[in-house]
Amino acid sequence: MTSVRLYDSLTQEKRTFEPRDGDHVTMYFCGPTVYNYIHLGNARPFVISMVAKRYFESLGYKVTLVENITDVDDRIIQKAIAEGRTSADVAREFADAYIEDTDRLGLGRPDIEPYATEHMPEIIDLVERLVAAGHAYQAGTDVYFDVDTFEGYGSLSKQQTAEMRHGARITPGEAKADALDFALWKGAKPGEPSWESPWGPGRPGWHIECSAMSLKYLGPGFDIHGGGRDLIFPHHENEIAQAEGALGGEFVRFWVHNGMLNTKDEKMSKSIGNIFMLREALKEYRPEVLIAFFVGSHYRSPMDFSRELLAEAGQQVGRLRNLFRTLDDYISGGGDADAVPSDARAAGAPSSDAEVLAAAEARRVIFDEALADDLNTAAALGEVFALSREANTALAAGTLTAIGASALRKRIGAMVHILGLDAAAEVDDEVPADVHEMATQRQVARAARDFAEADRLRDAILARGFEVRDSADGFKVVPGE
């Protein structure tokens, strides 16, 4: 099995990745808190986690990917109050929207998507264990984690507790003993959603649900815990404290954090107001264009977002679509039958199948090596394009057999699938009958050398959103990009 190296934010080094459970990879990625639609920045870790899953699967691993949905939280409550609805109502609306939006990406779904509100027993149990272990204390109706009792606190965010205490404050209404302590359980205020607990009715603090659910589904010391860089502190720092405080052992083996998505060098953030909702983006761009955009950079790099960059990703996807379109036509045309210097074949020129497939194999090796090196999707995508050119060259030369071409298609398709771009390989150009008829008429006009009419028809076809491409033996109508 290929040896994968992964960068671990905790140790700040790339290490060889070996799953805890042999051929089973266990991963947990922090999903959304559902108080609003998700934006493009939120979509990045979703895409990364799904691509990582596909990559591990391509290596023969079985993967269990858990991605939570946090459906009880201060922000949800705030929104509910502001809109005069129940917290559960708000949470359900945006949880559904999240599923809907990410579904449209076409990457499939994580294996388990647990909701915080459905895991109260596990959450309460974890808090109880922390209290029993002396890591947490009750203050009024709240329960707080006592940061001083956890020696490694700050090790993920590389911060000294003394340093952190400088700016920290205790917000009014909180009964914590130390400004750095954080709430594990919050007593319910009137009108807030609440669950019964040993400390009275209340709800979990942010952070604890992720520790409880990841431990429930993946167990102690699972392989990969991921999320955006901005989650390092306090979210993941606190998760480590909670989980390891309760466990007395290792919580996670690799911490994986993706870089932020910025607009004009500024983080895409709701407070700054420069957000682009995923659902809005999907109205303007094909899902695979968004995926190509993400996959085009290394996951740890910060990325800039702009329409220009999205348009560029669109060009890349178009290039892939053209390749698969050509491949499909070639295969269905029976190899070198169409648009090909048949004299070359007639003269007994050998098929270049072996040659091209060897090239594909070589590309695949580099592709795999790139992904094995901390999931370098950008380099891997580069190999796909390089192979794409080689494929186009062979296709244009017409020296492939249909069998060779379809083997080639399969190989490129497999690479494209790992990167989440299979939609670019599934080219089914539905052309309305009347548009096809116009194209046929245009052929007639061309044959009659009535180019004015031919051009008129092409414009008419274009107006319908399609593009005619002439070839040696006819024409092809494709949807305009």
Q: Which of residues 165-224 bind RNA (CB under 7 A)?
A: 166-168, 206
Q: Which is nearer to RNA, 128 or 383 (CB)?
A: 383
Kindly tell me which residue out of 359, 400, 454, 477 binds RNA, with binding defined by CB under 7 A.
Answer: 454
Is residue 80 within the footprint of RNA (CB under 7 A)? no
> Which residues have C-beta within 8 Å of that of residue 152, sequence separation ≥ 6?
240, 241, 244
Q: Which residues contact 343 (CB under 8 A, 6 or more apart)?
A: none
Q: In angstroms, what is the minimal distance from the CB of 132 to RNA?
A: 26
Which residue's CB is nearer to RNA, number 49 or number 197? 49
Find the binder of RNA among 229, 279, 436, 464 (CB under 7 A). Answer: 229
Buried b / exposed e along 113-150 (16+ C-beta atoms within 10 A): bbbbbebbebbbebbbbbbeeebbbbbebbbbbbbebb
- Residue 77 engages RNA in binding (rule: CB under 7 A): no
CA–CA gap between residue 103 and residue 107 (Å, rounded) = 7
Tokens 């991605």, located at residue: 67
- For the CB of residue 176, give the shortest distance to RNA in the complex, in Å: 12
Residue among 54 and 235 whose Cβ is closer to RNA: 235
Residues in the chain: 481
Q: How far apart are CA 267 and CA 200, in angstroms?
A: 39
| Window 341-380: residues binding RNA (CB under 7 A) | 370, 373, 376, 378-379
**Can you say how many angstroms the Cα of residue 291 is from the centroid of all Cα atoms in its chain?**
7
- Least separation in angstroms between residue 118's CB and RNA is 19
Is 448 a residue that touches RNA (CB under 7 A)? no
Residue 445 CB, nearest distance to RNA (Å)?
Answer: 8
Which residues 6+ apart lie within 8 Å of 145 measured at CB? 130, 135, 136, 181, 182, 183, 184, 238, 241, 242, 245
By the rule CB under 7 A, 16 interacts with RNA: no
Residue from the set 225, 235, 253, 409 that interacts with RNA by CB under 7 A: 235
Q: How far apart are CA 211 and CA 347, in angstroms?
A: 69
**Shortest Cβ distance from residue 206 to RNA (Å)?**
5
By beta-carbon proximity to RNA, the closer residue of 21 and 192 is 192
What is the C-alpha end-to-end distance of the chain, expressed in Å?
A: 40
* Per-residue binder mask for RNA (CB under 7 A), 264-303, x = binder: -xxxxxxx------------------------xxx--xxx
Q: For the segment 417-446, give every residue that binds RNA (CB under 7 A).
A: 446
Q: How many residues bind RNA (CB under 7 A)?
A: 83
| Residue 81 touches RNA, criterion: CB under 7 A | no
